[in-house]
Amino acid sequence: MSVGGEQVGMTATMEAHTTDSRTAPGGSLDLMRATGAELDRWFAELPAGEQPRGFGTGTAIVGSGLARRLGAVFARVLLWRGKVFTPDGTALLNVISPFGIRAIRAAVRPDTSVLDDRPCVLLDYSSTSIVARWIRDEIREYAPGKYIGMVYIRGRKIPVRFALDFTTP
């Protein structure tokens, strides 16, 4: 689906690092159709990747089925458009609202994932944001310039995931 010439929430796919029968031909996984458990399992198989730089278009991954797709569109249009990382990859600002306001800072660094004790890129709001200080995001790169992320609130994983795509303007 396109909103204002921008593809919204419908094209997030993941180059799967697995031979699971749910992968599509060509080795990609539709992030909008996979179950939460499948996304968690695939996240656990991925390498951390490099700390991103520049603007990553965001896709919220919440719920399942049609609700997930509609939620992604709603989130992109009204709430969250992505993240802008500094040139050195050590900090970011979220891009929020239909107006593209840059707000809610996070520190970015390599760390160990809460999910599986393996390396990830941590997006740490604890010391940089009053609004989101209890949030911890972890990302891993699934294809060049494409990341999937897990969200934790007060140390507990919640059923919210997101994708970041740095390959499209």
Give the residue extent of every domain in the chain: 48-165
How far is CA 38 from each of CA 8, 57, 139, 153, rounded to the nearest angstrom? 22, 22, 16, 21
Task: Give me the amino acid identity at 164.
Answer: L
What span, in angstroms and rounded, lies between the C-alpha atoms of 25 and 124?
36
- Residue 130 has which token pair? 């009053």
Q: Tell me the whole-structure pTM to 2 decimals.
A: 0.83
Mean per-residue pLDDT, 100-117: 97
What does the pLDDT average to over 127-145? 96
Mean pLDDT, range 7-27, rounded to an integer: 39
User: With contact defined as beta carbons under 8 Å apart, do 127 and 105 qualify?
Assistant: no
Query: Using CA atoms in the order 107, 17, 65, 69, what is the torsion angle rounded to 10 degrees?
Result: 50
- The mean per-residue pLDDT over the stretch 85-95 comes to 97
**Domain 48-165 top-level CATH class:** mainly beta
Q: Could you tell me where the DSSP H helices lie in 22-101?
A: 36-45, 65-74
Strands (E), the chain: 2-3, 6-7, 13-15, 28-30, 54-62, 80-85, 91-96, 101-112, 119-124, 135-143, 146-153, 156-165
For the stretch 31-79, pLDDT in tens is 889 999 999 999 999 999 999 999 999 999 998 888 888 888 988 988 9
